[in-house]
Structure 1
Amino acid sequence: MIEHAHTNDLTLNLARTVLKHEAQALTDLADRLGQKFLDAVQCLLNCKGRVVVSGVGKSGHIGRKIAATLASTGTPSFFVHAGEAAHGDLGMITRNDVLIAISNSGTTNELLTIVPVIKREGTPLIAMTSAPDSALAKYADIHLDVGVRQEACPLGLAPTTSTTATLALGDALAVACLQAKGFTADDFARSHPGGALGRRLLIHVGDVMRKGEKVPSVLDSVSVLDAVREITLKRIGMTAIVDKDGCVKGIFTEGDLRRLIERVGDIRNICIADVMTPSPKTIAQSALAAEAAHILDQSLCNQLLVVDEGNHLIGALHIHDLMTAKVL
């Protein structure tokens, strides 16, 4: 047990050392950012085509993520493996694009093979390397230094700290471009319609509300029993109370019914207008479904009436409708 505890301590200490090395590398990288970073951002903003990210090995994996982050934050981008580019995929890159070439050493043969073609085409080249004096850095229009003091790998061999720094710098480029373009949460949701954020930001009340015959409603002149029949028929746990013009006057729920029976017993001769909850919470069909969820949460209710600008009843929403639409 003592030996096992000692091993665990060593493992935790090593893990903490790795994280501290990488955190320090990011701090160092942030401190030395300057004009070249600004030039790279401007180059991406000026791009009339797409940002093409390329690399090999671990740099390729990092490149894929950077391309994905750029694409999802308003900068059209895709990844091309440098080896595949030299065997036909180079045709994907045009003079209107920008190439971000990633190589820790700056001497990756596959990247250097395609550089002359890129330069001849006139495609701007941004290099991300740890070697400012490398061939790739010298060929680049803009070189971003992602060098680190040391790798977190105890052997100093596996790309660890260097890949973290490169990935973080890619994020910095993407976010800087996002801000410069005025990219919003709505824009982000449009590129992620299948995700939770997309559902919260793109789905409106009108998309999920119950409409037409599915909306429970009774006139304010009917009896409580008539209202109960409507609640039972529409199976949403409530009914809207409207006047002869269809304007919402109140709401009556199954909970209201139970409390009414406990209070008076015989409900047969009671008019619904006398026991309804007047001026209920309502929402417009153009509102976000997420806003409806917030209202229901704050009011501790399960149902919400949907009205137009004139307060006419046009729909109804149950919390289950939001759950079905995966807004909740």
Structure 2
Amino acid sequence: MTNPVQNPHLHDDTDLPMEYLVSAERALETEMAGLSALRAALKDGLAVPFQKTCDLIQNIFGRVIVSGIGKSGHIGTKIAASLASTGTPAFFVHATEASHGDLGMITKDDVVLALSWSGETQELASLVAYTRRFKVPLIALTSRADSTLAKASDIVLKLPSVAEACPHGLAPTTSALVQLAIGDALTVAILEGRGFTVQDYKVFHPGGRLGASLKSAKDIMHGGDAMPLVPATTLMSEGILVMSQKSFGVLGVVDELNQLVGVITDGDLRRHVTTNLLEKTAGEIMTKSPKTVAPSALSASVLELLNSLKITTVFVVEDGRPQGIIHMHDLLRAGAA
């Protein structure tokens, strides 16, 4: 039997050169310094234009048009996506495509956010000229306040000069991260200023596991006759039948006001199996003050509760009264687990 062919590019862990880790650590430290400089700028010269930008974006009737080219373009795409997903209509227009017809996407009700680290990106010229001609507000995101872009803009978000993590100072690394960070800061500040809620977020993220985790308990619970409920005075000979018929592995116990006062689980049955179980009432067997969730609880929170308590079922309760029941399998089917 022959030995499998060895990949000459794969090495044993002991052969890995430490220079890789040294380079990585240096890159991270350089980028961390860039973020620290950005944070300091927000407490100084960047504070006023940042606030003006937030006010402008919150009060426009149109959309935020983000533009850039190269790495700034990639960052701009992400900024536009983040704004759009958190309640601020936005989209990205490539700086080159703008001069080939995409300027028609921009209206007088919009605001343009142009990204250029140097502020001298030639491809932005037609976009800048268009905003000046039709009086569309222009925000510059640049590191140079004396640049062509900055001088033409209504608001200048001047980013601090930072050292690139690239040892040659050429590849946009720290600069791209700083652009990304200020974009995230704008997104968060604006969504909080709008009072954007989890339920609002849910509207824009209906798909995938994220969408599933944003569903509320009332969206996935079983209600009405599907709930395994009995009065506290019910004999366990009947209670076990209800428990079996409903197939949730649990029995809810309510008082005369239909308030959930306890639950009975398989564990409770096993603990009382030798004590004339069938002759006892549900009130005698139940575990009092059970854990419950509200109808508005997110499915992600329900999942965390089930996992932390090592249980598979929980009742959905409002004002003390059971509204529904959720099993772990419901969370699995919804995609939240």
TM norm. shorter chain > 0.5: yes
Match of 1:302 in 2: 312
The question of 1:160 aligning with 2:169 is answered no
Superposed CA deviations along residues 128-153 of structure 1, whole A, max 9, x for unmatched, are 22333322222112222235243221
Displacement of 1:120 in angstroms is 0.7
Match of 2:324 in 1: 315
Conserved 8 A contact 2:142-2:158: yes
Distance 1:238 1:56, change over 3 A: same
Query: What one-letter code is carried by the residue in structure 1 that aligns with 2:201?
Result: F
Percent of matched pairs sharing the same residue: 44
Q: How many residues align?
A: 321
Alignment root-mean-square deviation, CA: 3.1
In the TM superposition, structure 1's runs of 4+ consecutive aligned residues that sit over 6 Å from their partners are: 4-7
In the alignment, the residues of structure 1 paired with residue 272 and residue 238 of structure 2 have an alpha-carbon distance, to the nearest angstrom, of 15
Superposed CA deviations along residues 51-73 of structure 1, whole A, max 9, x for unmatched, are 10001111110110111222233
Which of the numbers 120, 126, 132 marks the counterpart of 1:113?
Answer: 126
Which of the numbers 210, 215, 223 marks the counterpart of 2:222?
Answer: 210
In the alignment, the residues of structure 1 paired with residue 100 and residue 236 of structure 2 have an alpha-carbon distance, to the nearest angstrom, of 78
In the alignment, the residues of structure 2 paired with residue 308 and residue 143 of structure 1 have an alpha-carbon distance, to the nearest angstrom, of 50
Displacement of 1:163 in angstroms is 1.3
Displacement of 1:303 in angstroms is 2.9
Q: Superposed, which structure 2 residues align to 1:1-328 within 5 Å?
A: 8-33=17-42, 34=45, 35-194=48-207, 198-200=211-213, 202-242=214-254, 248=260, 250-261=262-273, 263-264=274-275, 266-278=276-288, 280-289=290-299, 292-293=302-303, 296=306, 300-307=310-317, 309=319, 311=321, 313-328=322-337
In the alignment, the residues of structure 2 paired with residue 20 and residue 248 of structure 1 have an alpha-carbon distance, to the nearest angstrom, of 56
Conserved 8 A contact 2:202-2:215: no
Of 315-324 and 164-173, deviating more is: 315-324
Q: Secondary structure at the match of 1:305?
A: strand
Superposed CA deviations along residues 176-197 of structure 1, whole A, max 9, x for unmatched, are 3233333344433433333655
List gaps (5 residues or longer) in structure 1: none
TM-score by length of 1: 0.83
Distance 1:323 1:83, change over 3 A: same
Conserved 8 A contact 1:148-1:161: no
Displacement of 1:79 in angstroms is 0.6
Conserved 8 A contact 1:132-1:138: yes
List gaps (5 residues or longer) in structure 2: 1-12
Displacement of 1:275 in angstroms is 3.0
TM-score by length of 2: 0.81
Displacement of 1:103 in angstroms is 1.6
